[in-house]
């Protein structure tokens, strides 16, 4: 219970950096992030699924299935940005 609370608090602390990363990663594709070439490339390198075949449903399914890994990645991004300050 305590460890889960610490993880949540850590994500809250990193929220501005997380939001900044997502804002930059979806530039030009904010309403359709599954069409972003950068995010397609990230999905391809993570899952092995070819970038051209990524669909909205496929991306959301992957995010839901790998939500812990995704949150850890976002927390890592937040840590990096906090350390740079």
Grade residue 9 by pLDDT with cuts at 50, 70 and 90.
Answer: confident
Angle at Cα 39 formed by Cα 70 and Cα 15, nearest 5°? 45
CA distance readout (Å), 31 to 1, 23, 49, 77: 36, 11, 22, 22
Rounded CA separation 60/80 (Å): 25
Are 23 and 15 in contact, with CB atoms under 8 Å apart? Answer: no
pLDDT surpassing 80 at residue 44: yes
pLDDT of res. 28: 92
- Res 82 pLDDT > 80: no
Q: How many domains does the chain have?
A: 1
DSSP secondary-structure letter at 31?
T
Q: Which residue has the higher pLDDT, 27 or 16?
A: 27
Tokens of 20: 């900044």
Rounded Cα gap, residues 75 and 63, in angstroms: 15
Report the percentage of the chain scoring pLDDT > 90: 2
For residue 52, the enclosing domain spans: 2-84
CB of 11 closer than 8 Å to CB of 72: no
pTM over 0.75: no
């Amino acid at each position: 219970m305590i460890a889960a609370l610490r993880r949540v608090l850590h994500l809250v602390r990193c929220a501005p950096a997380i939001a900044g990363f997502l804002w930059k990663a979806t530039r030009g594709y904010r309403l359709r992030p599954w069409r972003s070439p950068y995010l397609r490339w990230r999905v391809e390198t993570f899952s092995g699924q070819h970038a051209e075949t990524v669909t909205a449903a496929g991306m959301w399914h992957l995010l839901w299935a790998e939500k812990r890994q995704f949150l850890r990645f976002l927390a890592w991004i937040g840590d990096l940005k906090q350390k740079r300050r």
